[in-house]
Amino acid sequence: MSLGEFLQRATSPWMREGGPQDDIVLTSRVRIARNLEGVPFPQLETDSHANQVIERVATALNSPAMRKLGDFELVRCSNLTPLDRAVLVEKHLISRDLAEEARHGAVALRQDEVISIMVNEEDHLRIQCILPGMRVDEAWRLANTVDDALESELTWAFHERLGYLTACPTNVGTGIRASVMMHLPGLVISGQINRLLSAVSQVGLTVRGLYGEGSEAAGNLFQVSNQVTLGESEQEIIQNLTGVVLQLIDHERAARKALLQANREALEDRVCRSFGILAYARRMDSKETLQRLSDVRLGIDLGIIKGVSSRILQELLVMTQPAFLQKYFGQELSPEERDVRRAALIRERLRLDDMEVRG
């Protein structure tokens, strides 16, 4: 199978789409935590309880309200190989916790993978909607629609004063986590990032790395999300996040403009060096790959690099991860072998765009 064919089959369809402000905001995501009334939280579940939750979710997925939202496939994690579960983590469709504790878990995926529903993770259900670009409002509306459709068949654990009950107290209330994945190379290169992220933390938001909690920022990618779920309405949470993100977008645009004006040659040199390394290197580790891809995407967005798709960052963020590499090449690879194959895959991906331009 060619790389082009594999990309079409393996990457989520939404990764091939654009969205508002997508030169800076790669994705918008909303996740809702819900638990079934009268069933112990997953940490206290027996096998019987866990199976009961999965069966009830399977029934709800076949309800008329859910069928209107598209075709869903429910898969038990125990029926997936460790490699397949790792690929789903790299695509942000399930969490690392669900992948590692697969015995009781399951995931329901809509065909386009915009909607995924984790079952028996930290909570009975984690409803997730992910869209390209700055579309937090749209992601929230879709997640809320899924929530309502499931609630037509399921009864959520709810307290009149506290709101929706969750396994972790930090999610009690609305149970909503809204986040955006931002590409902020201008702020990093100009040395402004720490000051701005410190200010973000003062207004009820938190900043994490590519894979959320516990992951470090790499490739100038930052996940900005709400911390507070209790005491604010869902709309207030969305509005607060949106307002702060729009300010960060303005700061990033200003930083990019200032970098170009101050020393365009130095910026062009940085971008073109990274492109050259990606195009010709024979070994690439994950950390350097992310940094070089960040530079190249910045160059594409500023018009320094022509003939390369802006989608390359989203695609290769996933494609160059360890599990995806092994899935594509069809074999288990050592870290050293992955570095060699990663470089080969990147070269091949860049040639695809070159062939399209020449064609």
Binding residues for ATP: 27-31, 92, 126, 177-181, 208-213
Distance CA 220, CA 218 (A): 5
Beta bridge pairs of residue 34 = 125
Question: CA-to-CA distance for 323 and 338, rounded, in angstroms?
Answer: 10
What is the rounded distance in angstroms from the CA atom of residue 359 to the CA atom of residue 349? 16
106-110 and 115-119 beta bridge pairing: antiparallel
CA separation for the pair 175, 121 (Å, rounded): 14
Please tell me the distance from the alpha carbon of residue 67 to that of residue 256, in angstroms, as a whole number: 45
359 vs 345: CA distance, rounded Å: 21
Q: Which residues make up each annotated binding site? A: 27-31, 92, 126, 177-181, 208-213
Q: Is the dihedral of CA 66, 72, 76, 82 positive or negative?
A: negative
